[in-house]
Amino acid sequence: MIKAHQINYKHKDFHILDGVDVSLEYGEFLAIVGPNGAGKSSLLSVLADEVRTGKQKVLFKDKPISEWNVKELSKHKAKFSQHNSNDIPLEVKDVVMMGRYPYFDSQPGKEDLEAMNNMMYETDVFHLKDREYNTLSGGEKQRVHLSRVMAQLQNEIAHTLMFLDEPLNNLDIKHQYKALDIIKKFTQKANSAIVVLHDLNLAAQFADKILLMKSGRVSAYGTPQEVFTAENISDAYNFPCTICEHPITNNPMIIFG
Amino acid sequence: MRTQSKLYFYLTISAVLLVIIAVLSLNTGVYDFGGNSAFKVLWQFIKGDPNLSLSDKYVVWDVRAARIIMAILIGSMLSVSGTSLQGLFKNPLATGDLIGLTSGATLLAAIAIVLGGHFKEYLPEAVQFSLVGISAFIGSFLSMMLVYRISTSGGKTNVVMMLLTGVAITAIGFSITGFLIYISKDEQLRDLTFWNLGSLAAATWTKNIILGVVLIIAYIILLPKGKAFNAMMLGEKDAQHLGINVERLKKQIIIIVALMVGTCVAFSGTIGFVGLIVPYILRLLFKSNYAFILPLSALCGSILLLTADTFSRSIVAPSELPIGILTALMGGPIFIAILVKFKKAL
Question: B76 to chain A nearest CA, in Å?
Answer: 21
Q: Do B1 and A113 touch (CB under 8 A)?
A: yes
Chain B CA closest to residue A84: B234
The residue type of A245 is E
Q: Which residues of B touch A72 (CB under 8 A)?
A: 243
Range of the domain at B219: 38-44+54-341
* Mean pLDDT value across chain B: 87
Q: Would you state the pLDDT for residue B184? A: 79
Residue B235 pLDDT > 80, yes or no? Answer: yes
Contacts of B234 in chain A (CB under 8 A): 84-85, 88, 98
CB pairs under 8 A between A and B: 75
Q: What angle do CA A253, A254, A256 make, to 5 degrees?
A: 155
The CATH number that applies at residue B252 is: 1.10.3470.10
CA distance B201 to chain A (A): 38
**pLDDT confidence bin for B11, thresholds 50/70/90:** very high
Per cent of chain B over pLDDT 90 is: 45
Q: Do B90 and A87 touch (CB under 8 A)?
A: yes
Over the Cα atoms of chain B, what is R_g? 21
**What sign has the CA pseudo-torsion B166, B167, B169, B174?**
positive
Write the single-letter amino acid at A4: A
Residue B216, number of CB atoms within 10 A of its CB: 10
Q: B1 in a domain, yes or no?
A: no
> Given the DSSP bridges, would you call strands A14-24 and A2-11 parallel, antiparallel or unpaired?
antiparallel
CA distance B40 to B231: 49
Q: Which of A73, A90, A108 sits opposite B230 (nearest CB)?
A: A90
Per-residue pLDDT of A186-212, as tens digits, reads 999 999 999 999 999 999 999 999 999
Q: What is the pLDDT of residue B277?
A: 92
**Pairwise CB contact (< 8 Å): A88 & B4:** no
Mean pLDDT of chain A, nearest integer: 90
Q: What are B164-214's pLDDT values in tens digits?
A: 999 999 999 889 888 888 887 777 777 777 777 788 888 889 889 999 999
Report chain A's C-alpha Rg in angstroms.
Answer: 18
Cβ separation B234–A71 shorter than 8 A: no
Residue in chain B closest to A153 (alpha carbons) equals B242
pLDDT mean over B297-305: 96
SS3 A228: coil
3-state secondary structure of A9: strand
Residue B108 lies in a domain: yes
CB contact under 8 A, A87 and B242: no
Arithmetic mean of pLDDT, B148-169: 86
Cα A135 to Cα A137: distance, rounded to the nearest angstrom: 7
pLDDT category of residue A55 using cuts at 50, 70 and 90 = low
Q: What total of structural domains would you count in chain A?
A: 1
Q: What distance in Å separates the CA atoms of residue B213 and residue B217, rounded to the nearest whole number?
A: 6
Contacts of A48 in chain B (CB under 8 A): 241
Instruction: Answer whether residue B203 is part of any domain.
Output: yes
- Give the domain CATH number at A87: 3.40.50.300
Q: Is residue B14 part of a domain?
A: no
CA of A70, closest CA in chain B: separation in Å? 5
Given this model, what pLDDT does residue B2 score?
A: 60
Q: Give a yes or no: residue B29 inside a domain.
A: no
Residue A87 pLDDT grade (very low, low, confident, very high; cuts 50, 70, 90):
confident
Crossing angle of helices B101-119 and B246-268, in 10° steps, is 60
Give chain B's domain count: 1
Burial class of B317 by CB neighbour count within 10 A (0 to 12, 13 to 18, 19+): exposed
Helix (H) or strand (E) run with residue A141 in it? helix A138-152
Query: d(Cα B328, Cα B135) in Å, to the nearest integer?
Result: 25
Contact between A106 and B4 using a beta-carbon 8 Å cutoff: yes
Average of pLDDT values for B40-53? 80
Which residue in A has a C-alpha nearest to residue B7's C-alpha?
Answer: A107
Q: Which of B166, B156, B294, B167 is nearest to B236 (CA)?
A: B156
**Residue B167 CB neighbour total at 10 angstroms:** 13
For residue range B61-86, list pLDDT tens digits in order: 888 999 999 999 999 999 999 999 99
Q: Is A85 close to B234, i.e. CB distance below 8 A?
A: yes
- Angle ∠(A39,A233,A174) on CA atoms, nearest 5: 80
What confidence tens digit (pLDDT) does each residue in A169-180 have? 899 999 999 999
Environment class of residue A18 by beta-carbon count within 10 Å: exposed (0-12), middle (13-18) or buried (19+)? middle
Task: Summarize pLDDT for A201-252 with one digit per residue, the tens.
Answer: 999 999 999 999 998 899 999 999 999 999 999 999 999 999 988 888 888 8
Calpha distance B102→B254 (Å, rounded): 14
pLDDT at residue B51 is higher than 80: no
pLDDT band at B322 (very low <50, low <70, confident <90, very high): confident
Structural domain containing residue A61: 2-256
**Torsion from C-alpha of B152, B154, B156, B162, nearest 10 degrees:** -10
Mean pLDDT of B134-159: 88
Would the CB atoms of A94 and B289 count as touching at under 8 Å?
yes
CA–CA distance from B224 to each of B75, B221, B227, B294 (Å)? 19, 7, 8, 9
Task: With beta carbons under 8 A apart, name residues in chain A contacting B240.
Answer: 50, 70
* Confidence check: pLDDT of B129 > 80: no
Q: Which of A71, A75, A91 sits opposite B287 (nearest CB)?
A: A91
Residue B101 confidence (pLDDT) above 70? yes
Is B345's CB within 8 Å of A106's CB? no
Per-residue pLDDT for B1 more than 50? Answer: no
In a domain, B83, yes or no: yes
Cα dihedral across residues B328, B334, B339, B345: positive or negative: negative
